[in-house]
């Protein structure tokens, strides 16, 4: 018997709305199993989507999507939405090159009203749509933002609530309260919401009501009849409304409910038992995240002044190791990048060596704080920018490719990209010895190449690049771990005596001494980075070239061109932008 018989009749929410209400329970069961089956083998974000199966069905059943406009905050939870809105048969291509995106995406479907990926944008965007509908006289249209309890605690969401509460917009905010983001939620609002759940009196006179919303709930978000009834009621109400639902992340898969952090994006697992399928481990080199996580613990054991801060990524960044070992000196501040950076600055003014670990793409959220609160005051905060460069399947919203460009224009800031695990360790060691300026250390997602990475620390001289191989014609200048691709490219070619390879290491301060040496010795200079070309490292070399009038050299810059790069494996994406070993080798060949 086809386990998805009912699900397969739903090719559009219109089909869903033609079902009798009694069948929705069965549909929820099939949708949940379908998600589990596909994600078990194709990987992706599991727990969040399992938690909103009933909500997803209820929303599309009650509201007239896509005319009524629905925004999923972050978008980890939108798999069910994708499956019910015409993408069931493509769902197995989720997050693969040329497949569907792991996040809502406007270009993919009219049901994806707003692309997401970074958190806490849903209320602002849905409010904008609702205000637009008001202006267009579409007074009955509804606009729905589904947001989790971790995301609603972020400043941007508060700004939007503060505005929405005094608007006349037909905005329905649904708080999907499961007490967890990727890691467990933190903060005073979360504590408060926890109280609201058990104290009906508190629920009657709460923060959300204070902000002028028509608050209802909390209700059980897995109780379909209850959800349907409440949404039917809210659909007819004008103005800003707020529904608080309680769900369980990972609902319907025992292990996912029990270990919500691991099952957020568990990799491959057995769809029946839920057991994780162990990856071939063997003796693998470490993840950069773990190099960071173990090294900060090692340093913190010696240096009492070391503190660690992460905005909501303790597991992803591996700061959790320090949180376990030194809970009084390592802090998860929630999805609050702006606060994290200025908090770090405040602590650093009092003599602490603060490691602030933020994903490269999320540092975009704290750009002003980096300029205004840190660099301008020359406060030596140590930024560890995780997931720099192309990140792979998370795609366009998550690539850390802008950092070199947006950091380079900030005065006083040291910018370093370690070539390997050992350099990451050594720059962390160097930074906690005390710097006179803030530093940004960027490194990629995933594993390094060295099994023997736990070497004794040695100090790195700030602003000094390094020559890796020598050659008399072409010089390749790379920055960061993309260096490996150069090494590989050179190995692919004959005449490697003609190719020199330099690791710039520091984008700022620039090692102008080394650059002069490079330009004096070589006819062709090729720059390579896993970041955008405009304004990035190659751009810095172009500036150097024109400033010092190196007119006889040919300068070629390789990196991410002027476009947003979609999802795929890192290797696929590197090929697309031409920074994989083969592409580099081809460039080199032209001049051999």
Q: Which tokens is 208 given?
A: 């959300």
Query: Nearest distance from residue 407's CB to a copy of itself, in Å?
Result: 9
| 518 CB-side CA count, 13 A | 31
Please say which residue, 187 or 465, places its beta carbon nearer to a copy of itself: 187
Find how far residue 8's CA is from the centre of its chain: 32
CA distance 533 to 404: 9
Q: Which tokens is 437 given?
A: 């300026």
Task: Please state whether beta strands 466-469 and 499-503 pair in parallel, antiparallel, or not at all (unpaired).
Answer: antiparallel
Cα angle 309-375-446, degrees, rounded to a multiple of 5: 45
CA distance 583 to 528: 11
What is the DSSP annotation of 502-530? Answer: EE--EEES--HHHHHHHHHH-SEEEEEEE
Query: Nearest distance from residue 516's CB to a copy of itself, in Å?
Result: 16
Q: What is the DSSP letter of 369?
A: I
Contact pick of 151, 342, 432, 481 for a copy of itself (by CB under 8 A)? 342
Phi, psi of 285, deg, nearest 5: -65, 160
Please say which residue, 406 or 506, places its beta carbon nearer to a copy of itself: 406
Please say which residue, 30 or 154, places its beta carbon nearer to a copy of itself: 154
118 interacts with a copy of itself by CB under 8 A: yes
Output the 3-class SS for 482-507.
CHHHHHHHHHHCCCHHHEEEEECCEE
Within 190-249, which residues bind a copy of itself (CB under 8 A)?
191-192, 205-207, 210-212
Query: Nearest distance from residue 138's CB to a copy of itself, in Å?
Result: 9
Residue 382: name the closest of 418, 420, 415 by CA: 415
CA distance 224 to 172: 18
Query: Nearest distance from residue 246's CB to a copy of itself, in Å?
Result: 19
Q: Which tokens is 314 given?
A: 């303790």
Name the segment binding a copy of itself (CB under 8 A); options: 109-117, 419-427, 431-439, 492-500.
Answer: 109-117
Are the beta carbons of 476 and 521 closer than 8 angstroms?
no
Q: Let me know how long the chain is.
A: 592
Residue 232: name the closest of 21, 10, 14, 80 by CA: 21
Q: Which tokens is 469 given?
A: 């191989």
Find how far residue 366's CA is from the centre of its chain: 14
CA distance 177 to 190: 9
462 interacts with a copy of itself by CB under 8 A: no
Are the beta carbons of 143 and 113 closer than 8 angstroms?
no
Name the segment binding a copy of itself (CB under 8 A); options: 217-225, 226-234, 493-501, 559-567.
Answer: 559-567
Within 343-402, which residues bind a copy of itself (CB under 8 A)?
343-352, 361-362, 364-365, 367-369, 371-373, 375-377, 396-397, 402
Within 304-323, which residues bind a copy of itself (CB under 8 A)?
307
106 in active site: no
CA distance 441 to 385: 6
Please say which residue, 302 or 349, places its beta carbon nearer to a copy of itself: 349
Please say which residue, 185 or 318, places its beta carbon nearer to a copy of itself: 185
365 in active site: yes
- Which member of 54, 298, 337, 529 is catalytic? 337
- Which member of 32, 251, 329, 365 is catalytic? 365
Q: How many residues bind a copy of itself (CB under 8 A)?
A: 110
Name the segment binding a copy of itself (CB under 8 A); options: 42-50, 125-133, 288-296, 568-576.
Answer: 125-133
Output the 3-class SS for 201-224.
HHHHCCHHHHCCCEEEEEEECCCH
Query: Nearest distance from residue 530's CB to a copy of itself, in Å?
Result: 14
Query: Nearest distance from residue 549's CB to a copy of itself, in Å?
Result: 6
Are the beta carbons of 558 and 579 closer than 8 angstroms?
yes
571 in active site: no
Name the segment binding a copy of itself (CB under 8 A); options: 128-136, 226-234, 257-265, 289-297.
Answer: 128-136
Name the segment binding a copy of itself (CB under 8 A); options: 156-164, 257-265, 428-436, 573-581.
Answer: 156-164
Within 517-556, which residues bind a copy of itself (CB under 8 A)?
532-536, 538-543, 545-547, 549, 551-552, 554-555
328 interacts with a copy of itself by CB under 8 A: yes
Name the segment binding a copy of itself (CB under 8 A); options: 406-414, 427-435, 456-464, 479-487.
Answer: 406-414
Please say which residue, 486 or 508, places its beta carbon nearer to a copy of itself: 508
Q: What is the DSSP letter of 173?
A: E
Please say which residue, 396 or 490, places its beta carbon nearer to a copy of itself: 396
Q: Which residues contact 318 (CB under 8 A, 6 or more apart)?
A: 287, 289, 290, 292, 293, 294
Beta bridge partners of 176: 148, 245
5 interacts with a copy of itself by CB under 8 A: no
- Give the H or E element holding residue 135: helix 122-135
153 interacts with a copy of itself by CB under 8 A: yes
- Which member of 32, 141, 249, 329 is catalytic? 249
Within 252-281, which residues bind a copy of itself (CB under 8 A)?
none
Contact pick of 17, 42, 92, 163 for a copy of itself (by CB under 8 A)? 163
Please say which residue, 231 or 407, places its beta carbon nearer to a copy of itself: 407
Query: Nearest distance from residue 538's CB to a copy of itself, in Å?
Result: 8
Contact pick of 39, 319, 336, 479 for a copy of itself (by CB under 8 A)? 336
**Residues labelled as active-site residues:** 249, 337, 365
């Amino acid at each position: 018997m086809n386990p998805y018989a009912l699900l397969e009749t739903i090719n559009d929410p219109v089909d869903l709305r033609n079902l009798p209400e009694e069948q929705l329970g069965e549909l929820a069961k099939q949708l949940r199993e379908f998600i589990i089956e596909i994600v078990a083998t194709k990987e992706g974000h599991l727990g969040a989507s399992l938690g909103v199966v009933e909500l997803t069905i209820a929303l599309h059943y009650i509201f007239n999507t896509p005319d009524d406009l629905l925004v999923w905050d972050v978008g980890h939870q939108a798999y069910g939405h994708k499956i019910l809105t015409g993408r069931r048969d493509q769902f197995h291509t989720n997050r693969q090159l040329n497949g569907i995106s792991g996040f809502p995406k406007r270009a993919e479907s009219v049901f994806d009203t707003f692309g997401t990926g970074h958190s806490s944008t849903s209320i602002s965007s849905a409010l904008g749509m609702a205000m637009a509908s008001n202006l267009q006289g579409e007074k009955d249209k509804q606009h729905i933002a589904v947001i989790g309890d971790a995301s609603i605690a972020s400043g941007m969401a508060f700004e939007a609530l503060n505005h929405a509460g005094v608007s006349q917009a037909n905005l329905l905010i649904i708080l999907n309260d499961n007490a967890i983001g990727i890691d467990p939620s933190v903060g005073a609002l979360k504590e408060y919401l926890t109280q609201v759940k058990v104290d009906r009196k508190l629920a009657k006179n709460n923060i959300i009501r204070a902000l002028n919303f028509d608050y209802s709930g909390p209700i059980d978000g897995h109780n379909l009849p209850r959800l349907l009834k409440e949404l039917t009621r809210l659909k007819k109400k004008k103005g800003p409304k707020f529904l608080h639902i309680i769900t369980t992340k990972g609902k319907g898969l025992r292990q996912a409910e029990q270990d919500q952090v691991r099952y957020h994006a568990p990799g491959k697992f057995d769809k029946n038992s839920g057991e994780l399928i162990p990856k071939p481990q063997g003796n693998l080199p470490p993840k950069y995240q773990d190099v960071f996580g173990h090294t900060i613990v090692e340093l913190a054991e010696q240096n009492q002044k070391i503190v660690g801060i992460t905005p909501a990524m303790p597991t992803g960044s591996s700061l959790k190791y320090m949180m376990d070992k030194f809970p009084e000196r390592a802090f998860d501040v929630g999805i609050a990048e702006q606060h994290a950076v200025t908090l770090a600055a405040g602590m650093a003014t009092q003599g602490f060596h603060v490691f602030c670990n933020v994903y490269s793409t999320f540092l975009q959220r704290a750009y002003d704080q980096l300029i205004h609160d840190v660099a301008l005051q020359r406060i030596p905060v140590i930024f560890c920018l995780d997931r720099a460069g192309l990140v792979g399947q998370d795609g366009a919203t998550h690539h850390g490719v802008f950092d070199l460009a947006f950091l380079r224009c900030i005065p006083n800031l040291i910018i370093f990209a370690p070539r390997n695990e050992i350099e990451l360790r050594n720059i962390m060691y160097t930074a906690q010895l005390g710097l006179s300026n803030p530093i940004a250390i960027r490194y990629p997602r995933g594993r390094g190449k060295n099994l023997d990475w736990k070497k004794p620390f040695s100090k790195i001289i700030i602003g000094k690049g390094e020559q890796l191989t020598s050659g008399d014609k072409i010089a390749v200048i790379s920055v960061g771990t993309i260096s490996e691709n150069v090494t590989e490219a050179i190995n692919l070619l004959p005449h490697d005596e003609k190719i020199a390879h330099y690791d710039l290491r520091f984008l700022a301060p620039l090692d102008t001494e080394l650059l002069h040496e490079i330009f004096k010795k070589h006819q062709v200079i090729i720059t390579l980075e896993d970041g955008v070309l405009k304004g990035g490292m190659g751009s810095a070399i172009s500036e150097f070239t024109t400033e010092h009038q190196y007119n006889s050299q040919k300068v070629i810059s390789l990196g991410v061109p002027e476009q947003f790069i979609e999802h795929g494996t890192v290797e696929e994406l590197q090929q697309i932008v031409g920074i994989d070993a083969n592409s580099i080798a081809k460039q080199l060949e032209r001049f051999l």
